[in-house]
Chains A and B, each alone.
Chain A
Amino acid sequence: MTKKLVTYSYLGLLLAMLYAPIFIIIIFSFTEAKVLGNWTGFSLKLYTSLFQGGVHHSLTSALWNTLIIGLISAFASTLLGTMAAIGIHNLNPRQQKAVQTANIIPILNPDIITAISLFLLFVSIGISQGYTTVVLAHITFCTPYVVLSVLPRLRRMNPNLYEAALDLGATPLLALRRILLPELKPGMISGFILAFTLSIDDFVVTLFTIGNEGLETLSTYIYADARKGGLTPELRPLSSIIFITVLVLLLVINQRAVKKKL
């Protein structure tokens, strides 16, 4: 009995520590106080001012930039990563090992190294820093993750599926589109989601490749804002909205996975 109590309270404590910060932000997004921690009564003012044109123009435009960059890089890296995974899968075992190691190095590489290398690369080949460089940088570090999420799907697939399609008269391109891609879809979707969240989440690489043309993503905006002294209170409703959105998305995906199994 006591053992059970101890285990449950340990679990409760752990979860509380994990989720406390985000719950505090959500609670305090419903009050007007400028400083976090002061409760000045329930209010939706922060939410309304977040979406009021003009007032927090730079914050909402940073949000849009983040989402668009995230979508473009997730889309591009899913495409590149899937093609790479198919290529890797068809190499002989020794080559496969070599290429996979090459694929994992960028993942293990500290962000700051990736950031500096990309920065130097863009400078040396003379691409002006801005939207393009951020998107290119994000595609670069997202692609290996897509490869990692598509490869297991390929390995588990019946090796004869592609050949069966050819055998039934499909050209290689048709076999890819009609048989291989539908089979890889779950891996591609999880790769896409992973790439999207990585892109939204990224700060270091973005900071080094964003240039100084006034382009801001959410992470660089918050960083700059914090350095100016104090975070804008509107970040509280924004964080809450992002958290809830992600939560709902996650629940939907899990629900789908459960249904598929049945």
Chain B
Amino acid sequence: MQNIANDIITIEHLSHTFGDKTVLKDINLSIGKGEFVTILGPSGCGKTTLMRLIAGFLKASGGKITIDGKEMTHTPPHLRPVNTVFQKYALFPHLNVYNNIAFGLQLKKMPKEEIQKRVMQVLKMVIMTDYEERDVDSLSGGQQQRVAIARAIVNQPEVLLLDEPLAALDLKMRKDMQMEIKAMHKKLGISFVYITHDQEEALTLSDRIVVMREGVIQQIGTPTEIYNEPANSYVADFIGESNILNGIMIKDSLVSFAGHEIECVDKGFAPNEPVEVVIRPEDIYIFELSEAAQFSGQVTSCIFKGVHYEMMVLTPEGFEFMIQDYHQFEVGRTVGLRVKPFDIQVMKKERHLNTFEGIVVDKNHVKFLDQTFKCNEAQKFAVGTKVKVLVEFANVLLHDNEEEGMLSGVVSFILYKGNHYHITVLTQDGDNIFVDTNDIWDDADRIGISIMPEFIKIENI
């Protein structure tokens, strides 16, 4: 965090709810003067809500927003020193390019010559000179985007908010515009807050990236920090490609995963603490099997990706690694793998078991997640006891047919862990159930969930 004097925006304990749905939870973030900050996350993670709160289009349910040293949590949008570039441009269709850009200045009652001068200046900046008389509908997507940017920056705001500004453009155009936006940021010297779901765009453009998921900030850091030291498996999976595996931290600088004990550089974990290990596919060395190998394995697939080959290698212990290398190893070849200690990122495990609050209803049943489950251990407790219910990830059964399960839910996140999938299922009531499975499910699949009586463990709170 920078010191307050250099921050243009400070957000403290900001939260927002729609009805009974919480979309933002306790957001703390500060944005420095002249900084390029990207808010990154999948759709529905709350990034657009956060932007709308900063712009003032939404009223925060709780928390505080300070812009340029003034508390502005409840200030209406037209009084904030912030301008927005909208995802679908939102150019005024009944005005031409010139009047679109001049709109904000005209409202400020600026003299005509001054307006003219400034509009021409920004048109030059976005390389749209000679377009001022054109109807906005007659412009291409990229040109409309330029006009939208010009319309925002002509007001010389302290902060420019950009809500997925390039989402509607094709790949080539997007790349060009990225570079232009970056150059523009340098030239203007104001802060940019950039909203996107495109991790590559975030890594390319930003000074700092804020990774969000389900209304919660997962990690704030520079692109290199986020890429090399992801805070959790979600960030590791979302940013770039990665191998994420369960492991055990034997002692400082020694971690066991995929059936081998490997040297690493991480310290400070409890002995034998379960952890998650992240290795980027380009950090694994692949070679003809030799003494130097930490793992051996067989290449199961090899795809040419332009610059490199992407290969999957299956070890005799049954773990799969993704490897990116300039050299090709054909399918079926036996290879050796090696990872440098520095390239292994060890993370604390966020959770080890599904934990729910429940209540014993009779000697065979326990109630949790608003559903009564048969449970062998219930007899050990008096009826009506409040208990902690524990279910191992691997003991949750998923059914194709929603009705077959005791609960139904939607697959909200899938993480491949080398030899199994770790799936997050969002139930109808908004609870998360975590499942380890070998079956392949798709994102947003609607599924039934059930748990066998013998796998429901309960203990006193």
Chain A interfacial positions (CB closer than 8 Å to B): 158, 160-161, 163-172, 174, 178-179, 182-183
Q: How far is the CA of A158 from the CA of B144 in the complex (A)?
A: 14
Which B residues touch A170, using CB under 8 A? 78, 103, 107
Which 9 residue pairs are nearest across A and B when measured between Cβ atoms?
A160-B90, A168-B104, A164-B90, A166-B77, A160-B86, A182-B94, A169-B107, A167-B84, A169-B78
Report yes or no: A168 in contact with B94, Cβ–Cβ below 8 A.
Answer: no
Report yes or no: B88 in contact with A167, Cβ–Cβ below 8 A.
Answer: no
Which A residues touch B89, using CB under 8 A? 158
Q: Judge if B57 is at the interface, Cβ distance under 8 Å.
A: yes
Report yes or no: B155 in contact with A169, Cβ–Cβ below 8 A.
Answer: yes
Q: Judge if B92 is at the interface, Cβ distance under 8 Å.
A: yes
Nearest CB in chain B: distance from A91 CB, A: 14
Nearest CB in chain A: distance from B107 CB, A: 5
Most buried by B among A165, A169, A170, A172: A169
A160 in complex: contacting residue of B56, B83, B88, B107, CB < 8 Å: B88
Q: Judge if B280 is at the interface, Cβ distance under 8 Å.
A: no
B78 in complex: contacting residue of A166, A178, A179, CB < 8 Å: A166
Report yes or no: A163 in contact with B57, Cβ–Cβ below 8 A.
Answer: yes
Known: A163-B77, A174-B107, A182-B94. A168 touches B88 (CB 8 A): no
Chain B interfacial positions (CB closer than 8 Å to A): 55-57, 76-78, 82-84, 86-94, 103-104, 107-108, 151-152, 155
Which B residues touch A178, using CB under 8 A? 103
Closest to B82 in A: A167
Q: How far is the CA of A240 from the CA of B189 in the complex (A)?
A: 70
Q: How far is the CA of A160 from the CA of B87 in the complex (A)?
A: 9
Nearest CB in chain A: distance from B93 CB, A: 7
Nearest CB in chain B: distance from A96 CB, A: 15
Most buried by B among A160, A164, A166, A183: A164
Report yes or no: A166 in contact with B76, Cβ–Cβ below 8 A.
Answer: yes
Q: How far is the CA of A77 from the CA of B342 in the complex (A)?
A: 74
Which B residues touch A183, using CB under 8 A? 92-94
Closest to A181 in B: B94
A-B contact pairs, 9 of them (CB 8 A): A158-B88, A163-B84, A164-B86, A166-B78, A168-B104, A168-B152, A169-B78, A170-B103, A178-B103
Q: How far is the CA of A169 from the CA of B84 in the complex (A)?
A: 11
Q: How far is the CA of A13 from the CA of B78 in the complex (A)?
A: 61
Known: A169-B78, A170-B78, A182-B94. A164 touches B108 (CB 8 A): no
| Contacts A163-B55, A163-B57 supplied; 15 other A-B pairs, CB < 8 Å | A158-B89, A158-B90, A160-B86, A160-B88, A165-B92, A165-B103, A166-B76, A167-B55, A167-B82, A167-B84, A168-B152, A168-B155, A171-B78, A172-B76, A182-B94
Closest to B92 in A: A179
A168 in complex: contacting residue of B57, B76, B107, CB < 8 Å: B107
Closest to A171 in B: B78
Nearest CB in chain B: distance from A181 CB, A: 10
Nearest CB in chain A: distance from B83 CB, A: 6
Report yes or no: B108 in contact with A169, Cβ–Cβ below 8 A.
Answer: yes
Q: How far is the CA of A182 from the CA of B93 in the complex (A)?
A: 9
Most buried by B among A161, A167, A169: A167
Which A residues touch B88, using CB under 8 A? 158, 160
Known: A158-B88, A174-B107. A167 touches B78 (CB 8 A): yes
A166 in complex: contacting residue of B57, B93, B108, CB < 8 Å: B57
Closest to B108 in A: A169
Most buried by B among A161, A182, A183: A161
Report yes or no: A161 in contact with B90, Cβ–Cβ below 8 A.
Answer: yes
Closest to B94 in A: A182
Q: How far is the CA of A251 from the CA of B286 in the complex (A)?
A: 77
Which A residues touch B91, using CB under 8 A? 164
Q: How far is the CA of A163 from the CA of B91 in the complex (A)?
A: 11
Which B residues touch A182, using CB under 8 A? 94
Nearest CB in chain A: distance from B450 CB, A: 33
Q: How far is the CA of A154 from the CA of B424 in the complex (A)?
A: 39
Closest to A166 in B: B77
Nearest CB in chain A: distance from B148 CB, A: 8
Q: How far is the CA of A179 from the CA of B151 in the complex (A)?
A: 15
Nearest CB in chain A: distance from B56 CB, A: 8
Nearest CB in chain A: distance from B58 CB, A: 10
Report yes or no: A167 in contact with B94, Cβ–Cβ below 8 A.
Answer: no
Q: How far is the CA of A174 from the CA of B107 in the complex (A)?
A: 9
Most buried by A among B57, B77, B86: B77
Which A residues touch B103, using CB under 8 A? 165, 168, 170, 178
Which B residues touch A164, using CB under 8 A? 84, 86, 90-92
Which A residues touch B83, using CB under 8 A? 167-168
Closest to A178 in B: B103
Which B residues touch A160, using CB under 8 A? 86-88, 90
Q: How far is the CA of A170 from the CA of B94 in the complex (A)?
A: 17
Closest to B102 in A: A168
Q: How far is the CA of A168 from the CA of B57 in the complex (A)?
A: 12
Which A residues touch B93, using CB under 8 A? 183
Which A residues touch B94, using CB under 8 A? 182-183
Q: How far is the CA of A171 from the CA of B79 in the complex (A)?
A: 9
Nearest CB in chain A: distance from B401 CB, A: 30
Which B residues touch A158, using CB under 8 A? 88-90
Q: How far is the CA of A160 from the CA of B78 in the complex (A)?
A: 14
Q: How far is the CA of A130 from the CA of B56 in the complex (A)?
A: 50
Closest to A157 in B: B93
Which B residues touch A171, using CB under 8 A? 78
Q: How far is the CA of A178 from the CA of B103 in the complex (A)?
A: 9
Q: How far is the CA of A165 from the CA of B151 in the complex (A)?
A: 11
Closest to B84 in A: A167
Q: How far is the CA of A161 from the CA of B148 in the complex (A)?
A: 12
Closest to A182 in B: B94
Nearest CB in chain A: distance from B168 CB, A: 12
Q: How far is the CA of A161 from the CA of B103 in the complex (A)?
A: 12
Q: How far is the CA of A170 from the CA of B86 in the complex (A)?
A: 16
Q: How far is the CA of A177 from the CA of B94 in the complex (A)?
A: 13
Q: How far is the CA of A161 from the CA of B77 in the complex (A)?
A: 13
Q: How far is the CA of A169 from the CA of B151 in the complex (A)?
A: 12
